Chain A
Amino acid sequence: MYKYSDFDESFVRARVAQFTGQVERRISGGLTEDEFRPLRLMNGLYLQLHAYMLRVAVPYGTLSPRQMRQLAYIADTWDKGYGHFTTRQNIQYNWPKLPDVPAILGALADVEMHANQTSGNCIRNVTSDHFAGAAADEIEDPRPVAELIRQWSTDHPEFQFLGRKFKIAITGAPNDRAVTKAHDIGLRMVRNEQGAPGFEVIVGGGLGRTPMIGVTMKPFLPKADLLPYLEAVLSVYNTLGRRDNKYKARIKITVHETGAEEFARLVEERFAVIRPLFSGIDQDLLADIEKAFAPPAYRNAPVDGFDAFYAADPVFRAWADTNLTEHKNAQYAIVTISLKAPGQTPGDATSDQMRVMADLAERYSHGELRVSHEQNIILPHVHKSDLPTVHAALTQAGLGTANVGLISDIIACPGMDYCALATARSIPVAQGIALRFNELKLEHDIGPLKIKISGCINACGHHHVGHIGILGLDRAGVENYQITLGGDGTETAVVGERAGPGFAYDEIIPAIERLITAYLEVRLSPDETFLETYRRLGLGPFKAALYPEDAARNAA
């Protein structure tokens, strides 16, 4: 696995020392809150509804067992024994106390981790396909490039004070699991006619107040041109991007207002100036990084044990059918550990569960773990013969839920249970939906379905790209939930369509149930997914199910 260089190590240590001094000065009165706030945000520390919250970066979602154990240790020592994995592949602690934060950052630095650039108007933690390096459909592991981008963007002097935060996502596979089209810059690895890998560069996507699907600015960019091209895009954005209005400051608005063609032309112009300045050192560096990401030494062993178990044990079979993904090595599988047991908070893991996952990764996944933006944990390289053992251990730890990609595998942001910006709660809505469909025992019959919930218009829960999206709002002092339908966060990305007026807190779960009942009635066959049915029929039947009074009135 990639190891920090001495430079990274001393950089992170220096930041911890610096922030330790800043916290001391805040507490003793040397710094006012106005002075301190931007400093703490640069170190991932927010003040939320009930407490501080520390957001820890997990670059491109990759963790070692040692790091995962340290996260558990931090949860036990300075928090309430759990952590929350987020849609940005990060982990958040909901209860740190200000005087303890320097010690937490020190403990993170001990395992080459930090909370830098998880906040503020800079280039944030780069996210990637959570199956990177393992997926059967992948062209190349995108993480070396993600790491290159991390190093290039860390403390980049030109991009510390952008007009707004800036998010880059990268995937090496044609099946987009990194939501690249809804990022400021999305990078999708593609091959050119000669078969050489490069990137499709998608610019100006984003969710939030003004959801937009990114525009392909470059259908094929050679790998060696990537950093200068990114720098050109950032540079044009930094010059043109609006700073007068926070809501119009993201690059999606800049691209929209400038026009995609004109924006692309300006990028090319800038690129022509910058490109010669990149002497190739970045490519030497990339070659070194790639070595550190070399695939593990896969074992060659029979897999009949798996086949026999699969045939014999229906519980194991159900789990294998939903939670495993095809690995590039046919003897292996990618395991998705669901952090979505019905009734639990999506994305939360206790410190005990973290340790179990760390142990399993060490013994059965070549020492690797991933955090997915769908708030689950991945064991990327598990030999099939080990799967029954892994499943048994997970089940014992309350981590054996067989629901990945199904209705109870819900993305939910922290919402008004934690987040100071929230306009409504999202966690209890997710819990309620999962419990209800667990009770109905319909989940497997319903099939693939992505529900995504945000507690405000900022859309951290990606509701716009949920097959069913739920947005919590404050309407006249009451929680109200708006439903969008038909969203898609993959390579065929679309923003969902608003179904109609919102629902009160106690109406939203019955509304979702009506929606699903309608789907089960109108689908052509059990093979037609919710999204396919929606694409075939449009809003009509779903609207009728959501608003039966309107439907009755229209019929009358």
Chain B
Amino acid sequence: MAPRFTPKVVTANALLEGDVVYLTADDRWSRHHAEAELIEDEAHAQLRLLHAASQKLIVVGAYLADAKAGPNGPEPTHFREVFRTRGPSNYAHGKQVETGHV
């Protein structure tokens, strides 16, 4: 039996600012993880990743990151992805101050 597919979000960095972005269900790039489309199907995930990779003038390095459903939308599961939603831990820089991270 194939292992169960872990839900994913499509994430990348914005071309101009380098900021972390997430692909939404309505084809926008959001700065907020909670607005990402939570993808529960493997074939759909590949399609969404292809779509993201084609947006060469908006984002760089799109990939699928593990996520889970949360009360306010998708949440990251791995600590690296958690840090990417926030910014560095040594200064109040990045998303934690720029986008009102909760």
The stretch from B39-47, B67-75, B88-96 touching chain A is B88-96
User: Per-residue CB proximity of B69-102 to A under 8 Å, as 1/0?
Assistant: 0000000011110011001111101110000000
Give 26 CB contacts A-B under 8 Å.
Answer: A27-B15, A27-B16, A27-B57, A29-B56, A32-B56, A33-B56, A33-B60, A33-B61, A47-B13, A47-B61, A50-B93, A50-B95, A51-B17, A52-B18, A80-B91, A94-B93, A98-B15, A99-B16, A416-B80, A416-B83, A425-B83, A427-B88, A477-B77, A477-B79, A478-B79, A479-B79
Contact A431 B90 (CB under 8 A): yes
Contact A51 B89 (CB under 8 A): no
Contacts of B16 in A (CB 8 A): 27, 97-99
Min CB–CB distance B10 → chain A (angstroms): 16
Please tell me if B20 contacts chain A, counting CB pairs below 8 Å.
yes
Contacts of A425 in B (CB 8 A): 83, 89
The answer, among B57, B61, B88, for a CB contact under 8 Å with A50, is B88
Contact A417 B90 (CB under 8 A): yes
Contact B84 A50 (CB under 8 A): yes
Contacts of B88 in A (CB 8 A): 50, 94, 417-418, 427
Min CB–CB distance A296 → chain B (angstroms): 37
Contacts of B17 in A (CB 8 A): 51, 97-98
In the bound complex, what is the Cα–Cα distance between A51 and B15 (angstroms)? 10
Contact A47 B94 (CB under 8 A): no
In the bound complex, what is the Cα–Cα distance between A29 and B13 (angstroms)? 16
The answer, among A32, A51, A348, A427, for a CB contact under 8 Å with B18, is A51
Give the residues from 460 to 513 in chain A that come closer than 8 angstroms, CB to CB, to chain B.
474, 477-479
In the bound complex, what is the Cα–Cα distance between A33 and B88 (angstroms)? 25
Please tell me if A428 contacts chain B, counting CB pairs below 8 Å.
yes
Most B CB within 10 A of own CB, among A98, A422, A428, A478: A98
Contact A29 B94 (CB under 8 A): no
Tell me the A residues contacting B by CB distance below 8 Å: 26-29, 32-33, 47-52, 80, 94-95, 97-99, 345, 348, 416-418, 422, 425, 427-428, 431, 474, 477-479
Min CB–CB distance B87 → chain A (angstroms): 6
Contact B87 A50 (CB under 8 A): yes
Contacts of A428 in B (CB 8 A): 89-90
Contacts of B79 in A (CB 8 A): 416, 474, 477-479
**Given A95-B93, A99-B16: 14 more A-B contacts, CB < 8 Å:** A26-B15, A28-B57, A33-B61, A47-B60, A47-B61, A49-B83, A50-B19, A51-B13, A80-B91, A94-B88, A97-B17, A418-B88, A427-B90, A474-B79
Contacts of A26 in B (CB 8 A): 15
- B56: nearest residue on chain A (CB-CB)? A32
Most B CB within 10 A of own CB, among A80, A417, A422, A479: A417
Contacts of A28 in B (CB 8 A): 57
Tell me the B residues contacting A by CB distance below 8 Å: 13, 15-20, 56-57, 60-61, 77-80, 83-84, 87-91, 93-95
- A46: nearest residue on chain B (CB-CB)? B18
Q: Top 6 closest A-B pairs, CB basis?
A: A417-B88, A51-B18, A52-B18, A345-B90, A50-B94, A427-B90
Contacts of B83 in A (CB 8 A): 49, 416-417, 425
Contacts of B87 in A (CB 8 A): 50
Min CB–CB distance A505 → chain B (angstroms): 9
In the bound complex, what is the Cα–Cα distance between A417 and B90 (angstroms)? 8
Contacts of A427 in B (CB 8 A): 88-90
In the bound complex, what is the Cα–Cα distance between A200 and B84 (angstroms)? 46
Contacts of A80 in B (CB 8 A): 91, 93
The answer, among B15, B56, B57, B89, for a CB contact under 8 Å with A417, is B89
- B53: nearest residue on chain A (CB-CB)? A33
Contacts of B60 in A (CB 8 A): 33, 47
Min CB–CB distance A99 → chain B (angstroms): 6
Contacts of A94 in B (CB 8 A): 88, 93
- A428: nearest residue on chain B (CB-CB)? B89
- A29: nearest residue on chain B (CB-CB)? B57
In the bound complex, what is the Cα–Cα distance between A29 and B16 (angstroms)? 12
Min CB–CB distance B94 → chain A (angstroms): 5
In the bound complex, what is the Cα–Cα distance between A95 and B95 (angstroms)? 12
In the bound complex, what is the Cα–Cα distance between A345 and B79 (angstroms)? 21
The answer, among B18, B56, B90, B93, for a CB contact under 8 Å with A97, is B18
Contact A50 B18 (CB under 8 A): yes
The answer, among B18, B90, B94, B95, for a CB contact under 8 Å with A98, is B18
In the bound complex, what is the Cα–Cα distance between A78 and B2 (angstroms)? 49
In the bound complex, what is the Cα–Cα distance between A418 and B80 (angstroms)? 11
Contacts of B78 in A (CB 8 A): 477
The answer, among B18, B77, B90, B95, for a CB contact under 8 Å with A48, is B18
Given that A29-B57, A477-B79 are contacting pairs, would A50 and B20 also be in contact in the complex, using a CB cutoff of 8 Å?
Answer: yes
The answer, among A51, A418, A474, A477, for a CB contact under 8 Å with B19, is A51
Contacts of A348 in B (CB 8 A): 90
In the bound complex, what is the Cα–Cα distance between A477 and B78 (angstroms)? 6
Contacts of A477 in B (CB 8 A): 77-79
- B93: nearest residue on chain A (CB-CB)? A80
